[in-house]
A and B are shown apart, each in its own frame.
Chain A
Amino acid sequence: MPTIAEKILAKKSGKRRVEPGEIIEAEVDYVMVNDVTGLPAFEVFEEFNTKPLKEKIVLIPDHYVPNKDIASAEQAKAMREFARKYKIPNYFEIGTSGICHQIMIERGFVAPGRLIVGADSHSCTYGALGALGTGVGSTEAATVFAIGKLWFKVPETQKFTIEGKLNRYVMGKDIILHIISDIGVSGSLYKVMEFYGSTIEELSLSDRITISNMAVEAGAKAGIIPPDEKVFRYLNGRVKGDYEAIYSDEDANYSEEFEYDAEEIIPVVAEPFLPSNVKPASEVDVKIDQAYLGSCTNGRIEDLRIAAKILKGKKVHRDVRMIVVPASKEVFEEALREGLIEIFLDANAYVSGPTCGACLGGYMGVLARDEVCVSSTNRNFIGRMGHKDSRVYLASPAVVAASAITGRITDPNEL
């Protein structure tokens, strides 16, 4: 019996049923490109000599905007000009916008049952709302601009069940790092992860987004969570168009099944240089130079709230730079309203408008040689945030905030 991904791919390819391994061509609901992957897509698209399917296209500059240098300014300009030339309605200029995946969700492009591709590997984020979201390349994005369809190999699906009540200060980030440390960075290669269990049901949508966001860090094509009332409520008044929630059958065919006990999950960090190098935060004694709170993984209001709760009335350690980057304008505004920004400023954190920036070693917080950063982002590869001899420890917003105060990697329960 089919899984969520199989059902979505069957529906979008006009078939009654598809099997893992089969190659199909499916109708894509939305295709997103950012300022880095956009330009090559536009160049390829021009070769097709056709009109774009405007309503399907979403253009979000976020990696190097506000422009970092002249080359990135040219890239952002190319996106703006493409939007103008073809009158693409869904172009999001800075000042209205934010990090691409957050905007895709906030602006109602992502909804249950949809097939969405993005020329960005973290497009798997959309699985948190029951969509099949997956990353593609720029040439593929251009293909969807032109014909609205793309080839897919139907993936196998793995089932992950997490049961029980979470410990204090354990977040979605700790859950997904716990899973990746168990299955490894290629543990879900070519596969779809589906998440179940009482722990997942209890989680906020924001924490679920963190989990789906990092599915690609296990090699997965997507990380899907069956949509529930929390998702429907969030989409109410936000979603574009209609949608239909799709669920796996009771006896769906999973290639593997994994079970975890929530009580065994604790605040962790992933040490350099792989997201699977997971250690309890309390056992890692490392001095930090920078603490980064932001990104599509953990730059939402729920993330800022927990960090602010920990930082309230305290100061960032004098040897540490703390950088806070809300993932979107909406998050920024809400953080202002709730007084969170004031708490960060009082603590001597640096707060900026939304951008990918330092998450990918772009700008606004690049690391020097031998520097260490504890970061709420999703990748700790060699040189990811700067110099090849710098080191990134991935962690939840709670661990990032606690570490910023002590100047060392810290489990917030120890404060």
Chain B
Amino acid sequence: MENKIRGRVWRFPDNVDTDQIIPAEYLTTSKPEELAKHVFEKVRPEFAKNVQNGDIIVAGKNFGCGSSREHAPRALLGIGISAVIAESFARIFFRNSINIGLPVIECKIDVEEGDMLEIDFANGRIRDLRTVKEFKFKRMAPFLLELINSGGLVPYVKNKLKCR
């Protein structure tokens, strides 16, 4: 993970569930590129067409609630989302994201659709480049940060197996 990233904001409300992120009828594949075509298809059909690499999702409470499908963060990674910032996350979505290396930040921020954000992971700061507002977030527990930095759970497990 890069220490600083920049991206455009897509705003979402509270309680965005995994059925909205990737509808169940597309769960017959687990490839991020394939899943990416159907991201938010039922609720925001324009999303998949207009999203740009590096864009950031900013949402309200309980983002990613619903099913445990890892397809949801995979689809977001597949379509080029670089981070999700939400007031709170559903726990399985949060775990899945960390485990596959999608940065998730728990923070309430007041920004608008289309704003350009800069996220500084090392210092726990988010800056809105349009309004110049700054927001602070609590840095992750060291174990989780290490997990994200090493690329997720797969390299972590490989390392453990090697040490046996």
Residues of A within 8 A of B (CB): 23, 36-37, 39-40, 43-44, 47-50, 63-64, 69, 71-72, 74-75, 118-121, 123, 135-140, 142-143, 146-147, 151, 153, 185-186, 189-190, 219, 221, 274, 360-362, 379, 381-384, 388
Of B15, B23, B65, the most chain A CB neighbours within 10 A belong to B65
Once the chains are docked, how many angstroms separate the CA of A333 from the CA of B104?
A: 46
Once the chains are docked, how many angstroms separate the CA of A340 from the CA of B42?
A: 38
Q: Which of A39, A137, A361, A388 contacts B43 (CB 8 A)?
A: A388
Q: Judge whether B24 is part of the interface by a CB distance below 8 angstroms.
A: yes
Once the chains are docked, how many angstroms separate the CA of A13 from the CA of B147?
A: 19
Residues of B within 8 A of A (CB): 15, 17, 19-20, 23-25, 27-30, 42-43, 61-62, 65-71, 74, 88, 90-92, 95-96, 99-100, 141, 143-144, 147, 152-154, 157-158, 160-161
Shortest beta-carbon distance, B147 to chain A, in Å? 8
Q: Is the CB of B141 within 8 A of A36?
A: no
Once the chains are docked, how many angstroms separate the CA of A49 from the CA of B95?
A: 23
Once the chains are docked, how many angstroms separate the CA of A388 from the CA of B44?
A: 11
Q: Is the CB of A36 within 8 A of B27?
A: yes
CB-CB < 8 A to B96: which residues of A?
137, 139-140
Q: Is the CB of B61 within 8 A of A139?
A: no
Q: Which of B19, B30, B74 contacts A379 (CB 8 A)?
A: B19
Q: Which of B17, B43, B68, B74 contacts A119 (CB 8 A)?
A: B68
Q: Which of A37, A189, A362 contacts B88 (CB 8 A)?
A: A189
Q: Is the CB of B69 within 8 A of A382?
A: no
Q: Is the CB of B143 within 8 A of A72?
A: no
Once the chains are docked, how many angstroms separate the CA of A101 from the CA of B18?
A: 20
CB-CB < 8 A to B160: which residues of A?
147
Once the chains are docked, how many angstroms separate the CA of A71 from the CA of B29?
A: 8
CB-CB < 8 A to B88: which residues of A?
186, 189
Of A43, A69, A74, A151, the most chain B CB neighbours within 10 A belong to A151
Once the chains are docked, how many angstroms separate the CA of A47 from the CA of B95?
A: 20
CB-CB < 8 A to A186: which residues of B?
15, 61-62, 65, 88, 90
Once the chains are docked, how many angstroms separate the CA of A118 from the CA of B91?
A: 14
- Give me 30 A-to-B residue pairs in the complex whose CB atoms sit less than 8 angstroms apart, sorted by A's number: A23-B141, A36-B27, A37-B69, A40-B70, A47-B158, A48-B157, A63-B27, A119-B68, A119-B70, A120-B67, A121-B67, A137-B95, A137-B96, A138-B30, A139-B99, A139-B100, A139-B153, A146-B161, A153-B141, A189-B90, A219-B65, A219-B90, A360-B24, A360-B67, A361-B23, A362-B24, A362-B25, A379-B19, A381-B66, A388-B42
